[in-house]
Chain A
Amino acid sequence: DTAVSQTPKYLVTQMGNDKSIKCEQNLGHDTMYWYKQDSKKFLKIMFSYNNKELIINETVPNRFSPKSPDKAHLNLHINSLELGDSAVYFCASSQGGTAYYGYTFGSGTRLTVV
């Protein structure tokens, strides 16, 4: 039973399209995150939500809009996709919003914009 699941695993789309990535966690954690791993392999935080409330919005273009319908779900919607959005997007969760006990990551969504 997957703890943090993301769908889809792969996404290929054309520039200008709008797409969504879904994330669900069944760990009962209260904090969820979106991270982006770019071509240089940097993993960078994009957003964090605690109990459905946006906590961190890390200078991400407003074409990216996270939505958390409940504390078990954090979806990422991207409008007007650009070539530079191609990356692997990871969802993660933690309890108490603390890194000390480790975040649990999903397996990632590889987004390719053509």
Chain B
Amino acid sequence: DQQVKQNSPSLSVQEGRISILNCDYTNSMFDYFLWYKKYPAEGPTFLISISSIKDKNEDGRFTVFLNKSAKHLSLHIVPSQPGDSAVYFCAASVGSFGNEKLTFGTGTRLTIIP
């Protein structure tokens, strides 16, 4: 049962343009949603998160949007830079302190074209 889905396995974007990565979920009990970035042979690196009570969170070039009614979130990167080329994982958490579980999507490989 895949509760967090990233339906696009890959995405190519021209440098300087906007990258939009999408994620859908099925569990309405998720408390927080997160985006991680992963380079080959490294662990995932936390990028940005959003609480389920918010609809937008911004941090520099990264903005996450949450549409609870559609059970959909997206990550916008603008402007896109070559160093943004990586695999991006969407994740969602449920549970209280100490008993929290993070469920990941399967990732989207973003390639920024110079």
Contacts and interface: CB of A to CB of B under 8 A. Distances in A.
B101 interface: yes
B43 A99 contact: no
Contacts, number: 68
Interface string B68-92: 0000000000000000000001010
B56 to A, nearest CB: 15
B41 A43 contact: no
B99 A99 contact: no
Contacts of A103: 46, 102
Chain A interface residue bracket vs B:
20 to 34
Contacts of B47: 102
Given A42-B104, A43-B104, A100-B32, A105 B98 contact: no
Interface of B: 32, 34, 36, 41-47, 49, 51, 89, 91, 93, 97-104, 106-107
